[in-house]
A and B are shown apart, each in its own frame.
Chain A
């Protein structure tokens, strides 16, 4: 009784805003619903088109490639960048380290729109952009950053967001490693680098795995910052799967096809989730802290 009273409201809300939309999406994926909101069931037509069986969608291979490149770029940046910054900042004196970490946490503290436009504006292709402004002050010609290197820029913008979280998680994990362990390593003859390599990083195994899984799923689904910075362009060069689904449904009003793209994303997510749960074990994931000492 008490269980249903306490969990009831959240189960209701999750059902209303999560499970029902997912179900609706699944249903819409089998229709040809468009801006008129009229629809009829067309069976697997959307998926056949998507997989290139009939009247194939010419953008799909490119979208897949973009998504893979995007995830392959942001994920290592997030994990290695976060690891590097946390190890570095934990070596600084307390106040300095805190200051340093606070700066790198800013991306997550400010509204997404601000962060997105900050990047868009910094790499603006005219002399009114930050970097081009500096270049023109030095008498250098402007560079059309967002046209020349759009993928690099969206990867960096999202990577730094990832770094801000992973750095925080790794730093607190490092802080919870007992001083005695690193002192013992020092006594045993380890240099700072050896202590980091053989003691600290192995002890961060769980936080690293958790952050990898978390960010993998987060990046597969992410589109907000790309939309704000490049809008997927120039000409689909930064259009990733979820952004393509969004554009299809809400820019071109092809709700049916957009829903089928989203359905694929849902399936990919479920597979990833199962892999993660299998690797970590649900019981262990919700168990106690994972810095083993």
Chain B
């Protein structure tokens, strides 16, 4: 188990700041997700930690050891690539044993260890096959076995699930999470899929254009997004974001949008750091909308059934809002309805900076 520390990590490609001043501490045994849209610097960060890129500024520590200048082969890490990168000319056994053979481990031992890890990953019956004869899911397990066989101190996963079909992806999500906890190995994985990050990681790092947006547990990110970007990125369907203003009366904070207004409850007021003069962004999660009761009028624009729930898009004034409601409501297209939302669960952001107005976020 190893702790990883990134201190002011910067990596530039000509003018582009791929990673810009990243500070991060990854605890021993932690399962950490680097999450962001494509081009946010998550893969660059991973490849820098692996040692393929040298940081332009800042330091990387493995425990207390500065590893900036350590080549990848001496970092004792395991890595699973998005493409799995299995050696096409070697069979599964030789693929898995390759790291051990390089260390000149005697044959009886490398064979035993490779078979042991293959059993753990349930691929022991595939040892004679070439990678080309394996399914995507099997290839992934082989890649994982090869990454784990020499007991690395750190495991890096680059979009490990993105090449699997939907059903297998959900299965492997749970398997990977279980395996990581069983082995207790510090793991960093890169994904653009917030569901993957939410379901698997102990903590999530949200990146955008090379800059850190927020670090936290899945719940923290979901319940207290630090800015509009995190709010819109985390959660499916994404949070409704509406332009609004806060009017301060005597002991009363009123949020006004173009179509409706409401008073902020006391617990929210207590959380607010400041009231910006240039307006705010009001965030309401789709599941916090209540349909059929309330004083806001709207029109049903479209209904998307999801089985257990239904995703309803409402038109209210010039706004469109998404609501996640139980399926039994039986709402039809163009129905005129009333709706409201849980005011104690709203989010407020500074319109100019996009940052949350709440203290703890």
Contacts and interface: CB of A to CB of B under 8 A. Distances in A.
23 contacts: A181-B85, A181-B87, A183-B50, A183-B72, A183-B79, A184-B85, A184-B87, A186-B71, A186-B73, A187-B50, A187-B72, A187-B147, A188-B98, A188-B99, A188-B102, A188-B146, A189-B73, A189-B99, A189-B102, A198-B87, A199-B87, A292-B132, A293-B88
Nearest to A292: B88
B78 interface: yes
A198 B50 CA distance: 21
A288 B71 CA distance: 36
Interface residues of B, number: 24
A180 to B, nearest CB: 4
Contacts of B88: 203, 292-293
Nearest to A194: B102
Given A180-B85, A184-B79, A187-B147, 9 more contacts: A180-B82, A183-B72, A186-B71, A189-B73, A189-B74, A189-B150, A191-B73, A198-B87, A203-B89
Majority secondary structure of chain B interface residues (helix, strand, loop or mixed)? mixed
B291 to A, nearest CB: 48
B262 interface: no
B14 interface: no
Main DSSP-derived SS at the A contact region: helix
Interface of B: 50, 52, 71-74, 77-79, 81-83, 85, 87-89, 98-99, 102-103, 132, 146-147, 150
A156 interface: no
Interface residues of A, number: 20
A148 interface: no
Interface string A42-67: 00000000000000000000000000
A205 interface: yes
Interface in A147-201: 178, 180-181, 183-191, 194, 198-199
Contacts of A21: none
Contacts, number: 59
A184, A187, A202, A203 — most chain B CB neighbours (10 Å): A187
A202 B81 contact: no
A170 B81 CA distance: 25
Interface of A: 178, 180-181, 183-191, 194, 198-199, 202-203, 205, 292-293
A181 to B, nearest CB: 5
Q: Which 4 A-B residue pairings sit nearest by Cβ, starting from the closest?
A: A180-B85, A184-B85, A188-B99, A189-B102
Contacts of A183: 50, 52, 72, 79, 81, 85
Contact of B81 (A180, A198, A203): A180
